[in-house]
Amino acid sequence: MPADPSPHDDVSDARENERIWRIPGMSPAAVEAARAAARRAGLPLAAWLSGLIHAVADHEDAEDAPPRSQ
């Protein structure tokens, strides 16, 4: 039988989320929008942010790459 998630996990996630958002200049609205998007995706905030950052970086890398010859 799988173990139930402990309340400690929620506390750890909350602490992680707060630690991530100690970014000078980040508006409270942007913070809440990111948290809401992560919740909708069913992901912890850190995982959602990492995925977004990698997706944007990959997209920018693809745009900067020279066209492939055929």
For helices 7-20 and 45-64, what crossing angle results, to 10°? 40
Which pLDDT belongs to residue 59? 80
Q: How many domains does the chain have?
A: 1
Which pLDDT belongs to residue 2? 46
Task: Note whether residue 55 is domain-resident.
Answer: yes
Residue ranges making up the domain that contains 60: 31-64
Separation between Cα atoms, residue 27 and residue 21, nearest integer Å: 10
**Separation of CA 49 from chain center:** 2
Q: Which parts of the chain sit beneath pLDDT 50?
A: 1-2, 4-7
Which pLDDT belongs to residue 6? 46
Task: Note whether residue 57 is domain-resident.
Answer: yes
Quickly list H helices, the chain: 7-20, 28-41, 45-64
pTM of the model: 0.57
Which pLDDT belongs to residue 48? 93
Which pLDDT belongs to residue 1? 46
Task: Note whether residue 18 is domain-resident.
Answer: no
**Structure tokens of 50?**
């990492």
Which pLDDT belongs to residue 41? 95
